[in-house]
Amino acid sequence: MGSVRATKPHAVCVPFPAQGHVTPMMRLAKLLHSRGFHITFVNTEFNHRRLIRSKGLDYIKGLPDFQFEAIPDGLPPSDRDATQHVPSIMDATRKNCLVPFKELVLKLNSSSEVPLVTCIVSDGIMSFAIKAGEELGIPEVQFWTASACGYMGYLNFTELIKRGILPFKDESFKDDGTLDKPINWIPGMKNIRLKDLPTFIRTTDITETMFDFMGSEVQNCLNSSAIIFNTFEEFEHEVLEVILAKFPHVYNIGPLHLLGRHVPESHFMSQDQHLKEFAWGLANSKHIFLWTVRADVVMGDSAILPKEFFEETMDRGLLTSWCPQDKVLAHPSIGVFLTHCGWNSTLESVSASVPIICWPFFAERQTNCRYACTTWEIGVEVNKDVKRHEIEALVKEMMEGEKGHAMRQKAREWKKKAMEAIDFEGSSYKNFERLIKGLSLLVSEESNCLVRKL
């Protein structure tokens, strides 16, 4: 085992405990594993228990060189199937996770059963891992799982304060047109308004957890050895050029779910009324649909869709609580995709050449939506005051009209570019090779790894 400990690279992967973060981190971990890395995948205890219930004990036992560990988040016990309160989990991870994470890494390094930890790959909003790496002398890489344009939006939180835009003086900013104000001073970003920046700017108190957390975590990314982005250069090249000028140790290796094709399988609501309006607009469009409605998003009696909706759509509609989204989108019968504009969903739709109907609510999804509707020209946005007749018209236009046809063509062009990026001669594939080489070099450079940049 001694020779393995000395030569085999060992990456400890730490996702933020939310599904949209865990999924891409798992994809990255599998890619690293396919290139000879020993992987320790670290969930919070809450998510670890959910993983056991979902996959079973055999799954979390992992493989001899792909194992799962857990650390506490410091929060009190909650409903085992609930979605944890986002501000609370953000605050908890930055306050409570450093010590148990360091103890875990020390435990791994004292074990003769696994290789010495050679690098830490943590979510871009889990910067306690940067501090752990510094204190333990282990290189730490940040994985930003959202869009590069979203990252740039967060990076300018401090500038919004310096310019006197934030904090807003009172709540009138929500309705007086303030959010429609164009923002033309953020490098690399065009056609942006205040309302297209991450939603946490909509505050009268800049000490609020989510504004403070996201602004500081994005800045902390710049203290790591490198930043990995799940994007490809042509898709966000203007923003990426600006980020590279600030921090040259960047690896754009997306779309990760496409890059994963190089890995053989053998390696392993206050919106309730709006929901009803959307449902009836969908029904009235008369088109066949698959609608995935997560149980932890739509809760309570008021969110239950009326019996008449199911009667109207029983022969052409299917509602489900989960589906393999990337596989569904890849099916040739899919004409358009309703999405909240999370980054995984956005990349999966682009990779399947499917145009999108954007219905963002939260965080940098507003930024992704704006880019989809303007820069990438693959989407249209749902009016915030949802009306069924507007949804009916929008679905029909996207499925049958000239606008939908044009967006479908644009989506096909982006799919072609995404496939080129992850091909053997593509930019993302080459960046991944460069990342692997940089991480592998760290195995024999432990004495220098505290200061070394990849």
Q: Is 21 a catalytic residue?
A: yes
Q: Is 257 a catalytic residue?
A: no
* Angle subtended by helix axes 427-441 and 402-422, to nearest 10: 40
Catalytic residue among 10, 21, 48, 257: 21
Strand-strand pairing, 38-44 and 66-71: parallel
Structure tokens at 120: 């830490």
Count of alpha carbons within 13 Å of 397, Cβ hemisphere only?
A: 16
DSSP 8-state assignment for residue 85: P
Q: What are phi and psi of 258, to 5 degrees?
A: -80, -40
Per residue in 399-433, is it b (16+ CB within 10 Å) or e — as a string?
beeeebeebbebbbebbebbbebbbeebbbbbbbe
Q: In 309-410, which ranges are E strands?
A: 317-320, 337-339, 356-358, 379-381
Catalytic residue among 10, 48, 91, 123: 123
Total residues found in the chain within this entry: 454
Question: Distance of CA 417 to CAs 234, 242, 350, 377, 435, Å?
Answer: 7, 21, 10, 14, 21
Contact between residue 99 and residue 196 where contact means Cβ atoms under 8 Å apart: no
Residue with tokens 């203007």: 238
Structure tokens at 239: 């923003």
Structure tokens at 41: 């995948």
407 vs 398: CA distance, rounded Å: 8
Single-letter amino acid code for the residue at 224: S
Strand-strand pairing, 356-358 and 337-339: parallel
The residues annotated as belonging to the active site are 21, 123
